[in-house]
Each structure stands twice: as structure tokens, then as C-alpha cells.
Amino acid sequence: MSSAGGLRVSNVSVVLGGVRILEDVTFDVAPGESLGVIGPNGAGKTTVINAICGLVPLMAGEVWMDDIKLTGRRAYRMRGLGIGRSLQTTQYFHDLTCLELVSLAAAPNSAIGAVRFNGHRRPDKRSTEVLEMLGLSDYAEHPLSELSTAVQKLVDMARAVASGDKLLLFDEPTSGVSQSDRAVIAKALTSLREVGRTILMIDHDPAFVVANSDRLMAMNFGRVLKIGTPPEVMQDEEVRSSYLGEMSPT
């Protein structure tokens, strides 16, 4: 399976409301690689994703995906480039089914009504495939409100996968998900890695990030503290002290 969606973030700084949120952030994610992003609350992790997606202006620096410069593109002009993102908090129309929600992400210009009430609705191949890849086929016709948090998070990931087939940006896929249910999220990530998707994933569960990433990036106060293999980053003194009280010893 060919890989694409290599990401290069170079010297990115972001200032919001007069406050410097990101300071000289530089890292890359190779095509097909999975980079886990860790750091305490407020470290700037979500802002990194927003900076990649064009949702916040860059004060300095550049973002590239493969040979496409993303910097300066507005968020709405990102569609079609193959970038999908999930959200830290999922708030959807809970009476829509999993298939409907994923179909909407696959074809964002269609009105909800067109998806939902079109009596001649053809099975949407792409959405069906995405549901299958993430282990959601059994839930396709279930309204989101009936499903567990883990499945809701998977649907959010499936929406990202349906809208972007190269680079996936996942913001805390395990937040609110019980420890025992995290295995289904891990399995979905494994499936995506197997087909060569490039992944940037933020998560607060150290064991989960280590198990599901090729490399890690630790952040604090809007800066990159350390990038390396999971053991290199997890054993780093500065990383460990930034987590005091938040991360149990590994």
C-alpha cells in the first residue's frame, strides 16, 4: 500500500489574543508514519492541529503536506487535499446514524436532508468501507445516541478517515473512553497504519500513545520538548518533570 500525507511543520509560531501559544514548533511526520503528541493541558497540542488545518493564523513558519504548501490556505480550501481530523470533544446530531454521519463527512456539501431523506439513497461505498475498516459495520444503522463513548469516538475517527485519505489528525481519541474500551480504538489505529495512512495523534494516556505510535513528540508551554522513539521521549527527564502529577511512572 503506497503511503502519502507526509507532514512538515517548520518553525511555526502562533499568537492568539496577544498570547504566544506556539513557539518555533518544528517536526515532521513521514508518509505512513504515526506520530503521537503528548503534553500537559494547555501545552498547545490542539493548536498544532489547528495550525495544520488553517484554523489559526501563523505568526511565523510553514506547514507542508507532501509537496503542497498548506500555510496560508483557509480551512475551507483544505478540502480535497486528503486531510481528515477528529475533534477533542464530539458533538454531533445524535439522532443521525453512524452511516449517515460518515456519509456526511465523505460528501460534506450534501445537506443532511439529502443524506437522510432521499428515498433512493444508494449505498455509499466509501462510507461503508470506512465503517468496515474501523470495525463499525454492525453499528451502521444505529443512531449515535444509542452507542457507547468508545463507538462515538470511533465514528468521529471514521468521519476523519472519510474526509481525508492521506493525513489523519486525531485529537484525543481515547478521551472519555474507559480503559477496557480503548482496545477498539487501538485496533482502528492499527488498521489505518496497515493501509499506510499518515497519522498525528494527540493523547493523554501514555501507555496508549506508546503502543500506537512510531515516534512521539512531547510539548510544553507551546514548545517542542523532545521528539524521538517512545522510550527516548518517555524516559526524558524534562518530559517527565513536565508531567509531574499527571503521568504515573513508566
CB 138 within 8 A of CB 146: no
Residue 46 near ligand ATP by CB under 6 A: yes
* Smallest separation, CB 174 to Mg ion (Å): 13
Nearest to 25 by CA among 67, 66, 56: 56
| Direct distance between the N- and C-terminal alpha carbons of the chain, in angstroms, rounded to an integer | 34
Cβ closer to ligand ATP: 124 or 205?
A: 205
Q: Centre a 10 Å sphere on the Cβ of residue 70 and count the other Cβ atoms it contains.
A: 22
What is d(CA 32, CA 44) in angstroms, rounded to the nearest whole number? 24
What is d(CA 182, CA 186) in angstroms, rounded to the nearest whole number? 6
* Smallest separation, CB 14 to Mg ion (Å): 14
Binding site for Mg ion (CB under 5 A): 45-46, 88
Q: Which of 42, 57, 72, 108 binds ligand ATP (CB under 6 A)?
A: 42
Residue 242 near ligand ATP by CB under 6 A: no
* Smallest separation, CB 28 to Mg ion (Å): 21
Residue 173 near ligand ATP by CB under 6 A: no
What is d(CA 135, CA 187) in angstroms, rounded to the nearest whole number? 8
Residue 47 near ligand ATP by CB under 6 A: yes
Cβ closer to ligand ATP: 32 or 44?
A: 44
**Which residues bind to ligand ATP, rule: CB under 6 A?**
16-17, 19, 21, 39, 41-47, 88
